[in-house]
Amino acid sequence: MNIIILAGGEGKRMGGVNKAAVSVNGRTLLDILVSQLDPADEVVVVSPAAIPGHITVCENPPLGGPVAGIEVGFSTFATTHEYTAVLAVDAPHSAAMLPHLATAIGQADAAVTLGLDGWMQPLCALWRSTSLEAALANLGRTRNRPAKALIQQATQLIEVPGNGSEKDYDTVAELQVLGEVTVPNA
């Protein structure tokens, strides 16, 4: 499948750092997330910072929000596989939801994780690639649009109960439950 990892943003709640470079127990959030993916998957990371060892792209101008990042990430794939996953780097264990989303999607446009907190997690979702392409086109302007606006473009959406792996960590204090956190340039 195609996998878009959103690793942009200003990281304000983590002290204004590149979230992809934040480490837990010596491994970056990006490395933790990528290590859970099938090596056959085609992965693109959306970030204003170049990340060695990864195909990295950025919307122009940078910091255009999640949907602009999804759009530029999707447009980068050399091959469009049947499915495209959207994950966030600050949810480093979210790839564990991909098998559940793949099982549940059926003929729907997208399967999205419903977090343990009851909130939909549009950055832990699996789309049919043709449906994602149509949703981006139907949405029109993508810059500064929330990911929920993109999810609302799906004609048929399946919500899949999360198992906790979808949790995103917005602050260093939140990340500390996973282990020793190292913030670059801190």
Interval 17-38: pLDDT, tens: 778 889 999 999 999 999 999 9
Average pLDDT over residues 92-113: 98
Write down the domain spans for the chain.
2-182
- CA distances for 112 relative to 5, 86, 99, 102, 175, angstroms: 15, 10, 12, 10, 23
Q: What is the pLDDT of residue 177?
A: 95
Instruction: Look at residue 9 and tell me whether its pLDDT is greater than 80.
Output: no
With beta carbons less than 8 A apart as the criterion, state whether 95 and 5 touch: no
Residue 56 has what pLDDT?
95
What is the pLDDT at residue 170? 87
- Nearest by Cα to 171 from 6, 5, 24: 24
Q: What is the pLDDT of residue 90?
A: 94
Q: What pLDDT sits at residue 20?
A: 85
| Contact predicate 44/55, CB 8 Å | yes
pLDDT at 185: 73
Q: Is 70 exposed, middle or buried (0-12, 13-18, 19+ CB in 10 A)?
A: buried
Beta strands in 74-119 (DSSP E): 83-88, 110-114
* pLDDT per residue as tens digits for the range 115-157: 999 999 999 999 999 999 999 999 999 999 999 999 999 999 9
CA distance 175 to 89: 12
Assess whether pLDDT exceeds 60 at residue 66. yes
Tell me which of 155 and 16 has the higher pLDDT.
Answer: 155
Residue 186 clears pLDDT 60, i.e. is over it: no
2-182 fold: Spore Coat Polysaccharide Biosynthesis Protein SpsA; Chain A (3.90.550)
* pLDDT score for 113: 98
Write down the pLDDT at residue 77: 93
Q: Is the per-residue pLDDT at 171 higher than 90? A: no
pLDDT at 11 over 70: no
Q: How far is it, in rounded angstroms, from Cα 132 to Cα 85?
A: 10
State percent of the chain over pLDDT 70.
97
